[in-house]
Amino acid sequence: MPVITANPIKEKIKLALVLSEFNTSVTERLYEGAINRLKLLRFDEDQYTTVKVPGAIEIPLVTQRLAASKQYHAIVMLGAVIRGETTHYDYVCQQVSQGCQTISLKYDLPVIFGILTTENKEQALARCGGKKGDKGSEAVDTALAMISIMQQI
């Protein structure tokens, strides 16, 4: 039985990036990581579209609209939900993650959950180019791996 793994993609692909503007000091770094990775991989600017939304809770609606357009091979959701003093964090995380999965399954499309869900701002900053990696760049790599896998199935 053949094993399917991520391989180089032969065709010119299109990605959409949906970026939350809430927690901008974190989300802009996630976005920079994603864009730097696309540039390193020699993506042309016409190969990706960025849509900025007010907060993480708005990401699934815009992602769904982009998925329905059938213009993209994958969509990368970028945002940061940082725990505060209330249960708001739990509701936002649940709704955004559920939205990601629902859209991905409904449209048979890789929708990448590049949303940081952290206890504090320091943890978030460590994950967008700090000690814990560059989750923006990693989200792009995950999108490309999933595109390859989906094309092989």
Q: Which residues are marked as active site?
A: 88
Q: 């990581």: which residue's tokens? A: 33
Strand 133-134 and strand 111-118: the pairing is: unpaired
Rounded distance between C-alpha atoms, residue 84 and residue 114, angstroms: 20
Rounded distance between C-alpha atoms, residue 7 and residue 88, angstroms: 40
Q: What are phi and psi of 84, to 5 degrees?
A: -120, -150
In this structure, is the dihedral angle defined by the CA atoms of residues 13, 67, 74 and 57, taken in order, positive or negative? positive
